[in-house]
Amino acid sequence: MGARDVDRIDEEDFTVADMSNVESSPLARLRDELIDSRDLASGDIRGELQDAEERRAVILGTLKAALSLGLIYVVVFGAFIALLVWIWS
């Protein structure tokens, strides 16, 4: 039996689950309220950052925080390996 022999079922003819009377989750309602409360008329859809200098400062600050956190992980992992080598020797 090939694909041509099977009758095609139109998906618009029936409903698998009626979700018309289900309320949205509290988090979805909160997200919708926050989106509605924003002032999108300002034209800046990225948030509060108005100029390139502020954006650059935020990006560099985030990069600095991520690199320092990575450095902490490397130092702790290195100290752990050194401790294990010291114990096993």
Q: How many domains is the chain built from?
A: 1
Question: What is the enclosing helix (H) or strand (E) of 66?
Answer: helix 52-88
Predicted confidence (pLDDT) at residue 55 exceeds the cutoff of 80: yes
Q: Which bin fits 47, alpha (ψ -120 to 50), beta or left (φ > 0)?
A: left
- The verdict on residue 7 lying in a domain is no
CB 26 within 8 A of CB 32: no
Q: What per-residue confidence (pLDDT) applies to 26?
A: 78
- The verdict on residue 29 lying in a domain is no
Task: Report CA-CA distances (Å) from 49 to 1, 46, 55.
Answer: 61, 7, 6
- The verdict on residue 11 lying in a domain is no
Q: What per-residue confidence (pLDDT) applies to 50?
A: 72
- The verdict on residue 15 lying in a domain is no
- The verdict on residue 69 lying in a domain is yes
pLDDT tens string 70-86 = 999 999 999 999 999 99
- The verdict on residue 21 lying in a domain is no
Reported confidence tier of residue 88, pLDDT bands at 50, 70, 90: very high
Residue 29 exposure: Cα atoms within 13 Å on the Cβ side:
5
Q: For residue 86, what are the domain limits?
A: 50-89
Distant-in-sequence, close-in-space partners of 50: CB < 8 Å, separation ≥ 6:
44
- The verdict on residue 55 lying in a domain is yes
pLDDT tens string 5-42 = 556 666 666 777 777 777 777 777 777 777 766 655 55
